[in-house]
Amino acid sequence: MNKLNFGVNSRIATLLSNEYSSTERALIELIDNAWDADATRVLVDIPEPLSGSPIVVSDNGNGMTVDQIRTHYLQIAADRRRRSGDSSVRFKRKVKGSKGIGKFSGLMAAAEMRVDTAVGGRRVKLSFTLEQLKDVDGIDELEIPYTVSVEDEHVQGTTITLSQLRQGGAYPDAVELRHLLVQSYGRRQDMVIEINGKPLDVDDVQGHFEEKAISVPGITDLTVRFALSERKTGMKSPGIQIRVGSRIVGRPSLFGLDQRGDISPKLLKKLYGEIDLEGVVDANVASWEALVAGDPTWALVQDRVRDALYESYQARFKRDMSLARARLQQQFNKRMAELPEYKREFADKAIMKVLNRYSDEPHERVAPMVAVLLDALESSDYRLLLEHIAGASSADVSKVADSLNDFGLADMAHLVDQARARSAVLDALEDLSRDKSTLEATMHRALESNLWVFGPEFALFSSNKTLRRMVEDYLDQKYAGTNATDRPDLMLKQNFAGEYLLIEFKRPAHALTVSDYQQATGYRHHFGPFTPRRIRVFVVGGDRGTFPTNNLEPDVVGTSFFDIISMARTQLEWQLK
C-alpha cells in the first residue's frame, strides 16, 4: 500500500497552539476549504448525539490528486495564499484558508478523519486518527496509507468523514452551525450549503423570525422574511437583502429604520432578512435605489416595509426598554420628583433616548449616564437663579433686582453661546451650497436637522413622506387624490398659528425653473383640500434662474440657499450685538 507523510513548516509551533473556539467553528473551517476549492454545493450531515453515525462534509469542488495531497494538503502551516495566490482557480473567489491547519479542524469533534477525493478520473482515499498523531515523535514521521482507484472523469469533489465522535460539551450543534454559516454564506449565490438536508435560510438566525405580507396598490403582494437575532453581537451584514429569484440585488438595506433615531445601532445590527421581487421587476435591475428612482411607487413599498419592520422591533424590544426605564426611574425617582415639571418631562424624554441608544448595555453602565444627565439639569444656572429670586423677601428690593439682573446676564450668555454655535453651522451650510457637487439629499439632511434656519416658529411636520402618508398619518383623513406617491421634501408646521411651510429643495448647482414652480405648487394643490390652514411654499436651489416673477400664486417664493443662509445669519448677528 502507498504511503504519504505530513510536511511541516516552521509556523507549526505557533499555529497548532491556537485552538478553535468551538466544534462548530472547526467544521466551518472544512466548509471554507470547500469554498476555496470552488465548490458550488456543500452537504453537511450532523447525526444525533450517541447515534454512532459520523459527521460527513461533502462538496463538488475541484478535488485533489495524489500529488496535490502530498505537496499542498499535507503541508502543515504552509500559507496557501503565498503558494497559490489570493484567488481560487476557477471562480477567482477570495480564498479563506491561509493557516494550513484546516485539515486538523475535524479532529476537534472526532477521533478519526477520512478523506475521499476525486478529480480527473482518479479517486484517492486516506485517513488518520488522533491516536496516530500521539504515537509518533514528530508529525512528519507519521506515515498515512492511501489508495487510488479509477473513477468517472466527470466526478469530482471531496468528502470528509469524521468518526468516533466526541460526546458531551464538544459535540457540534446543527442549530448553532446554521446560525454561524448563514452570516457568511446565507446570501451567496454561488455556493449552496445544506445541513441535514436543509439549505441555509433566513430562519436559521437564532432569534425571532417573521414573514410579513406587504400590500401596495398596483404591485403584486410581496413578502418580507426576516429575523431579529437574540445574540448580543449583531449580524455581519445586517439589513434586508433584495432578491430577484436567485440573484442578489445591491447591498442589504435597512429601509429607513436607521433614519428614525429611536432604534439603537446595536439593535439595527440584529436585523437579517430578504424580500424576493421575482416576477415583479426586471431581473437586471441594478439596485433598490435604481428601482425607486425608476418608479415612485417603490418608495411607497419602502415605507410599508419599514413600517412592518418597525412594528416588529416595537413588539420585540419595547417591553425590555420599558422595564429598563422603570428600573432607572425607581433608582432616580427622588431626584426626578425634585425637578420642575418642564424639566421632569425633558428628563423623561432624555432617559428614553439614552435607553434607545444603549439598549443592549447593562443597567450598571446606563445608570451613570442618566446620573450625569440629571446632574446637568439640577445644576442649571436658571434653576439656581430662580430659587434665589423666589427666596428673596418683597422688602428686599435691591436683592430682587440684583437677582433679576443675574438671571438676565445668564440668559444673555446662553443666547450668545447658541448664536455662536449656529453661526458655525451656517458657515458649514454655506460651504455646502457653494460646492456644485453637493447633492440635493445632502442639503435636505443638513437643513432638516437645523430648522431654525427657516425661522424659530416652525417645527417639522414631515420629511420626504408621500402625500398619502401625510394626510392619513398626521391629519387622520383618507387620501382620495391621484398623486398619492408624490413626496414634498419638507413640510413644516408653524407652532402658534398652525400654518404650513412646504419646502422643495434642488441641488446647489441647479438654477430654478418654471417646472420647479409647477412641481411645488402642485404639491400644495393636492395637500390643500385636506386642511384649512395657509400653506406657504419655498423652492430653494442654486439661484432663481428662470423661476417665474409675475402672475405667481400667493405665498410662493423661489430663492437660493445663499439667500436663506444670509437671512438666518442676519438674525444671529443681531443677537451677538
Of 230, 244, 303, give the one whose Cα is nearest residue 272.
230
The answer to whether residue 124 sits within a structural domain is yes
* Grid cell locating 158: 471531496
Same domain, residue pair 153 and 234: no
Domain count, the chain: 3
C-alpha span between 53 and 142 (Å, rounded): 27
CATH number at residue 539: 3.40.1350
Query: How many helices and strands, by DSSP H and E, does the chain display?
Result: 18, 21
Of 344, 351, 342, give the one whose Cα is nearest residue 373.
351
Global pTM exceeds 0.75: no
Same domain, residue pair 82 and 186: yes
- Which stretches does DSSP call E strand in 18-67? 41-45, 55-59
* Grid cell locating 544: 432663481
Of 504, 507, 518, 505, give the one whose Cα is nearest residue 546.
518
The contacts of residue 362 (CB under 8 Å, 6+ apart) are none
Angle 384-389-390 from CA coordinates, rounded to 5°? 95
The contacts of residue 391 (CB under 8 Å, 6+ apart) are none
Of 177, 178, 228, 230, give the one whose Cα is nearest residue 199.
178
Of 157, 169, 57, 61, give the one whose Cα is nearest residue 113.
57
Of 181, 237, 205, give the one whose Cα is nearest residue 57.
181
Strands of the sheet containing 458-463, edge to edge, are: 458-463, 490-494, 500-505, 535-541, 556-560
The answer to whether residue 401 sits within a structural domain is no
Beta bridge partners of 195: 44, 198
By the 8 A CB rule, do 403 and 394 touch? no
Same domain, residue pair 84 and 223: no
Q: Exposed/middle/buried for 428, CB within 10 Å: 0-12, 13-18, 19+?
A: exposed
Same domain, residue pair 30 and 168: yes
Which pLDDT belongs to residue 320?
65
The answer to whether residue 259 sits within a structural domain is yes
Which pLDDT belongs to residue 305?
92
Same domain, residue pair 366 and 490: no
The pairing of strands 192-195 and 143-150 is: unpaired
C-alpha span between 259 and 430 (Å, rounded): 24
By the 8 A CB rule, do 146 and 126 touch? yes
Same domain, residue pair 101 and 186: yes
Exposure string of 193-217, with b = 16+ CB inside 10 Å and e = fewer, is: bebeeeebebbbbbbebbebebebe
pLDDT along the chain (577 residues), means of 10: 56 43 83 93 92 92 91 68 73 75 71 92 89 67 85 94 72 90 91 95 94 86 93 89 86 87 81 90 77 78 90 80 68 76 71 67 73 68 48 48 48 59 83 87 81 70 62 59 65 64 89 92 85 87 90 90 87 64
Same domain, residue pair 181 and 80: yes
By the 8 A CB rule, do 277 and 294 touch? no
The answer to whether residue 411 sits within a structural domain is no
Same domain, residue pair 54 and 106: yes
Domain end call among 379, 396, 422: 379
CATH number at residue 97: 3.30.565.10
* Grid cell locating 129: 486518527
For residue 511, give the DSSP letter.
B
- Structural domain containing residue 308: 201-379
Helix (H) / strand (E) element for 414: namely helix 397-434
* Grid cell locating 467: 402625500
Considering only CA atoms, give the Rg of the chain: 33
Sign of CA dihedral 333, 336, 337, 341: negative
The answer to whether residue 333 sits within a structural domain is yes
Domain end call among 131, 165, 195: 195
C-alpha span between 105 and 22 (Å, rounded): 10
- CB count within 10 Å of CB 248 equals 15
Domain end call among 170, 195, 220: 195
Alpha helices in 194-283 (DSSP H): 265-268
The answer to whether residue 103 sits within a structural domain is yes
The answer to whether residue 298 sits within a structural domain is yes
Angle 295-484-559 from CA coordinates, rounded to 5°? 85
> Side chain identity at 235, as an amino acid letter?
M
Q: Exposed/middle/buried for 167, CB within 10 Å: 0-12, 13-18, 19+?
A: exposed
Which pLDDT belongs to residue 350?
73
Same domain, residue pair 472 and 358: no
Same domain, residue pair 184 and 209: no
Question: If you search the block for the grid coordinates 477525493, which residue do you land on?
Answer: 117
Same domain, residue pair 186 and 248: no
Which pLDDT belongs to residue 139?
59
Same domain, residue pair 217 and 348: yes
* Grid cell locating 391: 427666596
CA 544 from centre of chain: 39
- DSSP for 521-561 reads HHHHHHHGGG--S-EEEEEEESB-TT---SSPPTTEEEEEH
The answer to whether residue 59 sits within a structural domain is yes
